Amino acid sequence: MPFDAGGKRYTYRVPAELAGKIAPGSLMRVPLGARVNDGVVWRLGAVPAAAWAKKVRDVAELRCGVPVLTPDALKLCEWISAYYAAPLNSVLLTLLPSVVRRGVRPVAEKRVALARELSPEALEKLRRRAKKQAALYDFLAEKKGAVLRSALPFSAAVVDALVLAGIAEESVSEKMRLAYDDEFEGGARGTAVAALPPELNAEQRAALDAICASIDEKKYRTHLLHGVTGSGKTEVYIGAVRKVLAEGGSAIFLVPEVALTPQTSSRLRERLADCATRIVVWHSNLSSGERHNAWMAAAKGEARLLIGARSAIFAPMRNLRLIVVDEEHEPSFKQSETPFYHGRDVAVFRAHLCGAVCVLGSATPSLESFYNAKIGKYALNRIEKRVDDRAFPPMKIVDMRREMLHAEGQTTFSRPLADALRERLERREQSILFLNRRGYSRALICPDCGHVIACPHCSAPLTYHRADELLRCHLCGHVEPAATRCPACGSANIRRRGFGTQRAEEILKHLFPDAVSVRLDADAMAKKNEFRKILGDFRAGKIDILLGTQMIAKGLDFPRVTLVGILDADLSLHVPDFRAAERTFQLLVQVAGRAGRGDLAGEVIVQTFTPSAAPIQFAKRADFDEFLEDELERRREFGYPPLRHVIRHVFRGNDALRVEETAERWAEFLENAAAGLFEIRGPAPCPTEKIQDNYRIHVWYFCENVVRASARLTELRAAFPQPEDVIDVIDVDPIDVG
């Protein structure tokens, strides 16, 4: 399939000189019209006898010596296209990264190794004549392999002299640029000593045994590993990965955030140091060279464990036996543009294609995964105790309505939370504060006329960022100077409403001027590796209080954290989303789980204006099963997932009336053409009606068979006369409903 062919597949002849070198997934160059285009081999077959076969053109060039996609990845591409109603070509371009399609300029590196072994007499003579050359000889002999020349602790003159004497030899090879590759240059693979594993408790052992039994069966199986926070799920993952590597298989380990890959890769490398394989990392924030080399290391079979975020699921791993999806409930596994695939669900289907085992792990599983385990589609393994029987941190709910009545001065930090922070500082313990809103304040408002300063391109207030005195739109990126007068009435009486992490940080530093407090959010992570640096300082005890957004709620493990404060538990609760209760419960439980993970007892303080809300009360009791059953019953009442599938169809354009008319015509067209296939709700304006000057209207489809529904939608979209200035996108199993 040529990349520029719009998803069409063409037949080409393999010339004699390339016979036996091309396979499905090979990257090649082919003629397409008057041009030459890059593409991927989809399948191989005999030359057809039909008359048209005489006009078949030859493959022009093989771009890479090994296939860059595996056969199962090609099948996965077709499934994603069908399931998510996405063009096949856009899916292929998503699967195969641009750095692999285009290639990168190789960087050469020089290595030095011993060319021959000296006799004791010759070595003694060298020691008397040239001590530094003899020292270099000893160094290379100890390393037992080629060492990167730039890493040698010897001058260029000494190295050149030993090479010129024929005692050492120099070689040039392509530099492997791999992220977080801590391997010492020249060290032999598989000879390091792995860190000793902790002894598994009975629940961990039972979960690992069940997963290993599925691996032994060598057929597809998905396990839902429901382990409470701090229960040691990672040790179960590591045990399963070790088994697969020992048996010659490969594994993919998915994490929900790019920021979690350094911590995860460091831990896995430490624990699997004795396995004879390279462990590589893959995510979008790496350099082009790092991404290209990681992908090719997998394609060549050099790497048998790949760690990464969502897109790592497409890596060309050979003999794939295990896929781990850590924190499977996280919405970040869902792609936010076409094709709108969900990394967790793609992982499950890829495991099905490979006959591999997929492990979905979480302390707060998604309702979809829980339901699949409930009906027997997934195996359910539970770990209900924390490691070493550590106690769960008690959760205290602070009613901010009462706090506001008695507040003197700031109201961001309640009295119980401020007192608890002060107590931790006195005991030299660490605290984490969670607020899922960036910026200084959420809006600027004029109390005289009621005007809220909004983005000129979106139907959303601009967020005030005090550090640079700017108003920013977190939807489209629009930036403008902070207003000093109301643009509507001219009043200078501009007030800030709500608070974000910047404002919370300012108040925190005022309350505790001697404490080292650091903010960790997207605005604070502009520099590369800033996340790693901040977490490293926090782990080393250089930071007393860490204040952050949702990125601090996922998978972080700091033994000296004894207090977690949630500044506003209502942010995710009161939104027009049928998953609002589920997300609020998950966030509270996950953030609370950062406390008390070491030998010190933990405490959680939650600030809310709705203390009686069901998700908050369930989280306080840590009653996962009761919450899920309650939420499942509510979903059943309204026909929401996981009882049925949902498809969201969004129409957008610059002309509001034209968008509305198109959506209404489509809904009427669909009612007549696909009656009985799904329930149609809408059209209606999206909760965020305008983004980047585009007015947005959505239509919802509820169905039992999503593959049939997606196929029919694809057919009908092709037949529907849609204006060119109205764009539509289909999101199957949507996460974002804004």
For the stretch 27-74, pLDDT in tens is 888 888 888 888 888 888 876 666 566 678 888 888 888 888 999 999
**Encoded tokens for 67:** 């296939």
In this structure, which amino acid lies at residue 647?
I
* 182 CB burial (10 A radius; 0-12, 13-18, 19+): exposed
Q: In whole angstroms, what is the distance from residue 490 CA to residue 446 CA?
A: 9
473 annotated as ligand-binding:
yes
pLDDT (0 to 100) of residue 353: 96
Q: Is 33 helix (H, G, I), strand (E, B) or coil?
A: coil
Beta strand ranges found along 73-208 (DSSP E): 108-114, 147-148, 168-174
**Encoded tokens for 128:** 């008397």
Q: In whole angstroms, what is the distance from residue 681 CA to residue 693 CA?
A: 25
Q: In whole angstroms, what is the distance from residue 97 CA to residue 99 CA?
A: 5
pLDDT (0 to 100) of residue 499: 64
Q: In whole angstroms, what is the distance from residue 363 CA to residue 354 CA?
A: 27
β-strands 430-434, 545-548 pairing: parallel
Q: Is 552 helix (H, G, I), strand (E, B) or coil?
A: helix
446 annotated as ligand-binding:
yes
pTM score, whole prediction: 0.82
pLDDT (0 to 100) of residue 2: 80
Cβ atoms of 501 and 438 closer than 8 Å: yes
pLDDT (0 to 100) of residue 186: 32
686 annotated as ligand-binding:
no
Nearest CA to 316 out of 300, 338, 339, 293 is that of: 300
Q: What is the 3-state secondary structure (H, E, C) of 187-211?
A: CCCCCCCCCCCCCCCHHHHHHHHHH
Below-70 pLDDT ranges, the chain: 47-54, 104-107, 174-196, 276, 407-410, 437-444, 447, 450, 458-460, 466-468, 474-476, 495-499, 522-529, 553-556, 597-599
Q: How far is CA 284 from CA 161, 262, 308, 469, in A?
A: 43, 14, 9, 30
CA torsion angle for 87, 88, 91, 96 (degrees, to 10)?
-150
β-strands 147-148, 108-114 pairing: antiparallel
pLDDT (0 to 100) of residue 387: 77
Cβ neighbours of 414 (radius 10 Å)? 23
pLDDT (0 to 100) of residue 377: 96
Nearest CA to 728 out of 717, 715, 716, 712 is that of: 717
pLDDT (0 to 100) of residue 712: 92
Task: Name residue 13's beta-bridge partners.
Answer: 58
pLDDT (0 to 100) of residue 647: 93
Nearest CA to 396 out of 623, 630, 608, 614 is that of: 608
pLDDT (0 to 100) of residue 185: 33
pLDDT (0 to 100) of residue 191: 41
Q: Is 266 helix (H, G, I), strand (E, B) or coil?
A: helix
pLDDT (0 to 100) of residue 617: 92
β-strands 727-732, 645-653 pairing: antiparallel
Q: In whole angstroms, what is the distance from residue 538 CA to residue 698 CA?
A: 44
Q: In whole angstroms, what is the distance from residue 643 CA to residue 656 CA?
A: 34
489 annotated as ligand-binding:
yes
Q: How many CA atoms lie within 13 A of 560 on its CB side?
A: 17
CA–chain centroid gap for 677, Å, is 34
Cβ atoms of 468 and 476 closer than 8 Å: no
Q: How many CA atoms lie within 13 A of 422 on its CB side?
A: 10
Cβ neighbours of 192 (radius 10 Å)? 16
Q: How far is CA 375 from CA 196, 378, 643, in A?
A: 38, 8, 11
Cβ atoms of 207 and 236 closer than 8 Å: yes
Helix or strand (DSSP H, E) at 648: strand 645-653
